[in-house]
Amino acid sequence: MSALLEVSGVSVSFDGFKALNNLSFSIGKSELRAVIGPNGAGKTTFMDVVTGKTRPDEGRILWGEPPVSLLGKSESAIAVAGVGRKFQRPTVFEDQSVQDNLMMALSKPRTPFSVLTFKPASVDYARIKELAEVIGLSAELGRKSGELSHGQKQWLEIGMLLAQEPKLLLVDEPAAGMTTAEREKTTRILRDAARDRAVVVVEHDMDFVRKLDCKVTVLHEGSVLAEGSLDHVTGNKDVIEVYLGR
Amino acid sequence: MADLTAGSLRSRPLVLRYPATLVFLACLALFTLGVTILSEGFGIGVISTSFVKTLGKTLCLCLVALAMDLVWGYCGILSLGHMAFFGLGGYAIGMWLMYERTRLIVVDSLAAAPLPPTPQEISDGIASQIFGVVGASEFPPIWAFAHSLPLQLAAVVLAPGLLALVFGWLAFRSRVTGVYLSILTQAMTLALALYLFQNDSGLRGNNGLSGLQNLPGLERVGQATVSLWFFWGSALALGLGYVLATWVVSGKFGSVLRGIRDDEARVRFLGYPVEAFKLFIFTLSAVIAGIAGALYYPQAGIINPAELAPIASIYLAVWVAIGGRGRLYGAVIGAAFVSLLSTWFTGGQAPDLWIGSYRVQWVNWWTVLLGLSFVAVTLFAPKGIGGLIDLLAERRRPDRHGKDLGPGEGALREEEADR
C-alpha cells in the first residue's frame, strides 16, 4: 500500500530547542493511527508542520499520489488538498449555529467570489443532516454552537472535519474532558471515519487508545521511539522508561 | 423545532429573510419623504435648506459607518483609516465640479473678448483660476481627467478601491493584524493627509477644493432644490448600500467573515484563503466609503486635507462602537445619532451647564463627553445602542427545547437538566 502522507527526516527547532528531531512518519490511505508520547514529545509540532502552520528547518513532506511536496504551501492550500485538523481545545464558531458551522466546512469552492455567490442546494442540506446524525447533533442544528456542551462541541468539530471530506484527519486529544459515554461515541465516530480515510489521533489517555485498537506510534524528544500494536509498544523497554513508567 | 435544514429559509427573497432590512428601508423611505415634505425646496418650508444639507450629510456618514461595520464589526479588521477613502471619493468628484464650474465662468468672461478664445486660452484661464491660490498656473497631471464627469465618477470608485487593494494586499499578506494593523491604517490616512497638505500635491494644498455645492450649469436651480437632490441621492445610496451589505454578510460569505473575526486560524485550517477574504471586504468597504464621500462633499461645499486627518477615522470607529458593531443598523444608528448630537453640541445650541461656579461650554466639552461615552459603551454595553433592539426583541434568549423547570424564562430546561 502506498503512503498517503510521508514525512521524512523533518527537524524543527525553536530558539535552539529541537521540537522535532529527524522525524519520519508515514500513513496509508485508510488507516487509523494513534500517536502518543509525553508532554513536549513534539506531537503538536508534528501536526503544525503537516498542516503548514510551522515551516520545518529540514526534511520532506510528501502527499498523495503522485506525491507532491506540502512544504511552502499555505495552511488553506494544504487544507484544500485534503488535510483536516482538529485542535485540542474545541474550536467551533460559537457565535454561529451548528448548521452554519457545518455549512462553512462543507467541501465547496473556497475563493471569495465563489463563496459570495454560493447558494446551498438541497443536497447540501441533506449532507448536513447526515453529518449531524453521525455526530449526534441532529436536534441542535439551529442552536448557536456556543451553547453546546464541551463534548458536543468536540463532536461538532469532528463533524466539520468530516464535512471537509479530507483524505487525512489529524485529531488532537479528542477525548479530553469527555465523560465515559462521550468517549465511547467519539471512538466510534473516529473508527468509522477511518474506514475510507487516514486518521491520526494524538492522545494521552491509554484506555482511549486501547479502544481505538490500531497501530500506535510513540514519539519522544521529537522523533519516533517505537511503532506497532499497543501491546507491542507498551512491552518496549524504552517506551516503559520514558512514558509509561512515570 | 423549526426545520432549518429544509432549505425553506433560502428560497425567499433577501429582504424577507432579513426583516430588519425591510424595516430599515421603510424607515429610510419615510424619513426621506418626511424631510421632502417639510423642506423649503419641495415642501412647506419647515426645515431650512442648511438643515436638509446636514441631514443629507448625515446619511452619507451613515453609509461610511456601514462600510466600517463591514470590515470591523463583521470581519474584525479595526481600520482607523477609512475616512481616507471617504476623502478620496470627495476629492475625485470635487475635481470635476470645480473644473467644470470654473470653465463655465472662464468661457463666460472670455466671450466678451473681440476674438473667440482658443482652447489653450480657456485651459490656461481655468488653471490660473483654480491654482492661483497655490501660486501655480498649470494643470498638474492628476487633473488630466477632470474635464470628464464619467471618468471622475469612475475615479470615485477606483481611487479608494485601488488604494485599499494595494494597502490591504501588503498588510494582509504579511499577516499584520490587530492593533498593528490599526496603527498602519492610521499611518496611511496621516500620510495621505500630509501629502495633500503640500501645495505641489496638485490638489490646492490646505485650501482644498471649494465651491462644490454649486452644480456647474445649474446655478439658477437654487440650493433649496439642489440640496434635496443630494439628500435623495444620499438616501438612495444608503438604501442600496444597506441591501448590498445585507447580501454580503448573509449566507456563507457572512459566516466566513464572522469566522475570521472570531478565529482566523481556524478558518484557515478549514481551507479558506483568509487573506483574500480580508482583501475583498476591505476593498469593497473602501469603495462604499468613496461613494459616500462623493455624495458628502458636494453637500458640505468644501473639502480639504484636514478631512483626512487620523482623528476623523477614529470618530468613525467611535460611531460604530456606540451604535453597536456587528449589526448593520447599529452602525447607521450610531453614525446618525452621534454626528447629529455632535452638530447640536458644537453648533452652540446646547445650553451651558453650570457646575458650581464653572460653566461647561459644550462646544469645548463635547469631545470629552463623547470620549467618556465611548469608554462607557466599550465597558458596559459592548453591543451599543443596537443592543437595545435586542432587549425589545429578546433575541438573546437561546433557542432551547423542552419545558422549563423553574419559574423564570431563563431557568434550565428539561434536556439540560438531564445531562
Compute the Cα dihedral for A188, A189, A194, A200 and give only its sign.
Answer: negative
**Gap from A27 CA to chain B (nearest CA, Å):** 20
> What is the pairing mode between strands A215-220 and A223-228?
antiparallel
CB B65 within 8 A of CB B335: yes
**Cα separation of B28 and A203, whole Å?**
57
Number of Cβ within 10 Å of residue B210's Cβ equals 17
pLDDT number for residue B314? 94
Q: Is the pTM of the predicted complex or chain greater than 0.95?
A: no
What is the arithmetic mean of pLDDT over B331-338?
Answer: 94
What is the arithmetic mean of pLDDT over A4-10?
Answer: 91
How does pLDDT run across B75-108, given as a tens digit for each residue? 999 999 999 999 999 999 999 999 999 999 999 8
pLDDT number for residue B395? 53
Residue A160 burial (10 A CB sphere; 0-12, 13-18, 19+): buried
pLDDT number for residue A212? 87
> What is the pairing mode between strands A58-63 and A68-69?
antiparallel
Q: What is the 3-state secondary structure (H, E, C) of A46-98?
A: HHHHHCCCCCCCEEEEEECCCCEECCCCCHHHHHHHCEEEECCCCCCCCCCEH
CB contact under 8 A, A112 and B280: yes
User: Which residues have a Cβ under 8 Å from the Cβ of B123 and sit 6 or more positions away?
Assistant: B139
This model of the complex carries an ipTM of 0.87
CB A197 within 8 A of CB A168: yes
- Please tell me whether residue A137 adopts helix, strand or coil conformation: coil
DSSP conformational letter for B308: G
Report yes or no: B263 at the A interface, CB cutoff 8 Å: yes
Higher pLDDT, B197 or B362: B197
pLDDT exceeds cutoff 80 at B246: yes
Q: Which residues of B touch A103 (CB under 8 A)?
A: 252, 255
How does pLDDT run across A159-217, given as a tens digit for each residue? 999 999 999 999 988 887 788 888 888 888 888 888 888 999 998 788 888 888 889 99
Distances (CA, A) of B321 to A118, B86, B379: 30, 19, 11
Chain B CA closest to residue A165: B270
DSSP conformational letter for A144: B
Reply yes or no: is the peptide bond before residue A38 cis, omega within 30 of 0.
Answer: no
Place of cell 473639502: B303
pLDDT exceeds cutoff 90 at B163: yes
Compute the Cα dihedral for B150, B156, B159, B163 and give only its sign.
Answer: negative
Distances (CA, A) of B20 to A31, A96, B26, B182: 50, 18, 10, 30
Report yes or no: B396 at the A interface, CB cutoff 8 Å: no
How does pLDDT run across B360-407, given as a tens digit for each residue? 888 888 889 899 998 998 898 888 888 888 787 765 555 544 444 444
DSSP B227-283: HHHHHHHHHHHHHHHHHHHHHHHSHHHHHHHHHHHH-HHHHHHTT--HHHHHHHHHH
Residue B4 banded pLDDT, cuts 50, 70, 90:
very low
Compute the Cα dihedral for B241, B242, B244, B249 and give only its sign.
Answer: positive
Domain ranges for chain A: 3-244
**Cα separation of B358 and B371, whole Å?**
20
Residue A204's H or E segment, with its range, is none
Q: Which three cell numbers stand for residue B143?
A: 487633473
CB B69 within 8 A of CB B242: no
Distances (CA, A) of B142 to B159, B190, B202, B204, B223: 12, 20, 7, 12, 30
The fraction of chain A above a pLDDT of 90, given in percent, is 37
pLDDT exceeds cutoff 60 at A241: yes
Q: Which residues of B touch A116 (CB under 8 A)?
A: 248, 253
Q: Which amino acid is at B351?
A: P
**Gap from A162 CA to chain B (nearest CA, Å):** 11
pLDDT number for residue B3? 43
Q: Which residues of A touch B244 (CB under 8 A)?
A: none
CB contact under 8 A, B270 and A160: yes
Q: Which residues of B touch A160 (CB under 8 A)?
A: 270
Q: Which residues of B touch A79 (CB under 8 A)?
A: 268-271
Report yes or no: B262 at the A interface, CB cutoff 8 Å: yes
**Gap from B396 CA to chain A (nearest CA, Å):** 11
Q: Selecting from 3.20.20.70, 3.30.930.10, 1.20.910.10, 3.40.50.300, what CATH number does the domain A3-244 have?
A: 3.40.50.300
**Cα separation of B58 and B301, whole Å?**
14
Q: Which residues of A touch B269 (CB under 8 A)?
A: 51, 75-76, 79, 84-85
How does pLDDT run across A54-86, given as a tens digit for each residue? 899 999 999 988 888 988 889 999 999 999 998
CB contact under 8 A, A75 and B1: no
Number of Cβ within 10 Å of residue A37's Cβ equals 23
**Gap from A170 CA to chain B (nearest CA, Å):** 11
